[in-house]
Amino acid sequence: MKYWGLLILVLLLAGCGKTQQAVYEPNFSAKAATNVKEYVIGILPLHNPQRLMNIYGPILEHINATMPDVHFRIEASRNYDEFEKKLYSGHFDFAMSNPYQTILSLKHGYRVFGKMGDDDNFRGIILVRKDSGIHTVNDLKGKKVAYPSATALAATMMPQYYLHTHGIDVNRDNENIYVGSQESSILNVVRGHVAAGGAWLLPWLAFSAEHPDQASQLEVKWQTVSLPNNAWVVRQDVPAALASQFATALFGLNDSVQGRKELALLPISHFEPATEATYAPVRNFLAVFSRTVRQVEQ
């Protein structure tokens, strides 16, 4: 499958990643003495807060270096609920949100300006232990299934829709356990607490590179079709010129060797421009999902 090519890339970079591993420490000293305007960046909790800082911190430092008159600070969230409360209250100036959160954020004063590239990788996967004895979707009937959050699109809604279209009533045939993060969903499968777990492809690849012994106990049993990837949004009151500068720096990361190394840790090839119209396929999916699986806000 296509994701194995990405996994090879992650593994090749793993050695490099381990040299930086410990904890990413952003360098604020250059701007600490100046009275610059600070903007808060929210990143949906694809990883635990430490790992989130490790892989997104260098990207923000890269952008900070290109915009010396302002300062951007990442603020991690413990789980999806906390991230969404901050997003929908307008706490973040900029945020990278999943497509479902993105659509809801438009009601709360945000606009779409960009997204992750590589849409083919925005797909859900369903993991099981290799020794689970689960061979068909019907084998999941009566079993517990872990998901990061009820509002995770790739890791929850898309796998649940996959199960629905393959004969499972996810509201009656499974006990759905929402565990707060991608890694928690994966680890619940590793530890045998659940029969299967939903995840997004990229966090699974990152987990496989960092924890090969645990990952080797699992297999990707099923995967979904793809949708447009995670979006970048900006609050409407952020100056348009500043938002444009931020976007230019973000979209230009793949133009330099260092930027490409930082992107490879995610791992994606680039960020790219987007608008609300980019997410029309997501709106269509949510309408079908609400009608056939379970009701979600749209």
Angle between helices 49-66 and 257-264 (to 10 degrees): 160
Please state, in angstroms and rounded to a whole number, the distance separating the CA atoms of residues 72 and 14. Answer: 27
Residue 273 resides in a domain: yes
* Residues 184, 87 share a domain: no
Residue 291 resides in a domain: no
**Residues 10/267, Cβ–Cβ less than 8 Å:** yes
Closest CA to 258 of 113, 50, 61, 116: 61
Tokens of 48: 């635990």
Tokens of 134: 């689960």
* Residues 221, 134 share a domain: yes
Task: Give the model's pLDDT for residue 35.
Answer: 78
The CATH number linked to 206 is: 3.40.190.10
* Residues 34, 50 share a domain: yes
Q: pLDDT by residue (tens digit) across 193-206?
A: 999 999 999 999 98
* Residues 219, 200 share a domain: yes
**Which one of 183, 205, 227 terminates a domain?**
227
List, in order, residues 6 or more apart from 236 with CB less than 8 Å away. Answer: 109, 110, 111
* Residues 196, 237 share a domain: no
Please state, in angstroms and rounded to a whole number, the distance separating the CA atoms of residues 284 and 249. Answer: 31
Task: Give the model's pLDDT for residue 265.
Answer: 87
Task: Give the model's pLDDT for residue 32.
Answer: 44
Residue 297 resides in a domain: no
Residue 294 resides in a domain: no
Distances, alpha carbon 158 to alpha carbons 11, 35, 170, 237, 279, in Å: 27, 45, 12, 33, 15
* Residues 150, 44 share a domain: no
Question: What is the model's pTM?
Answer: 0.85
Residue 293 resides in a domain: no
* Residues 53, 87 share a domain: yes
**Residues 145/194, Cβ–Cβ less than 8 Å:** yes
Q: pLDDT by residue (tens digit) across 75-124?
A: 999 889 999 999 999 999 999 999 999 999 999 999 999 999 999 999 99
* Residues 92, 183 share a domain: no
- Percentage of the chain with pLDDT > 90? 80
Distances, alpha carbon 152 to alpha carbons 92, 200, 242, in Å: 19, 9, 30
* Residues 217, 246 share a domain: no
Angle between helices 49-66 and 240-251 (to 10 degrees): 110
Q: Structural domain tally of the chain? A: 2
Task: Give the model's pLDDT for residue 49.
Answer: 84
* Residues 191, 152 share a domain: yes
3-state secondary structure of 113: strand
Banded model confidence at residue 34, pLDDT cuts 50, 70, 90: low
Domain range holding 158? 121-227
Helix then strand count (H, E) for the chain reads: 12, 11
Give the sign of the dihedral formed by CA 221, CA 227, CA 229, CA 235: negative
